[in-house]
Amino acid sequence: MERQAPDKIDYLVHEDQMVRMERVIKRLWILCIMIFIALVATNAGWIYYESQFITEEVTQDVDTGNGAAYVAGIGDIHGTDQTDGETESS
């Protein structure tokens, strides 16, 4: 099989295709810039959203009278409660 020489392309057709490709490339650049801006905006939005939930550590002294008491992270108090000489277990 012999290779055939490519057909000649008219200069005006070639220039028309090049102008069309330049427009497509320009549109793709605009799309890339818009996607980058959207990425930055969504990340800024998530940072703002997450910054609303700042946690604070609170310490509190507990006087149990006799023995030690500890407070679990869910709000339960384990120890004894003493009121007017009576002792209650929780």
| pTM (two decimals) | 0.50
What per-residue confidence (pLDDT) applies to 44? 97
Distance (Å, whole) CA 47 – CA 41: 10
Q: Which segments of the chain have a pLDDT < 50?
A: 90
What per-residue confidence (pLDDT) applies to 7? 81
What per-residue confidence (pLDDT) applies to 29? 98
What per-residue confidence (pLDDT) applies to 5? 72
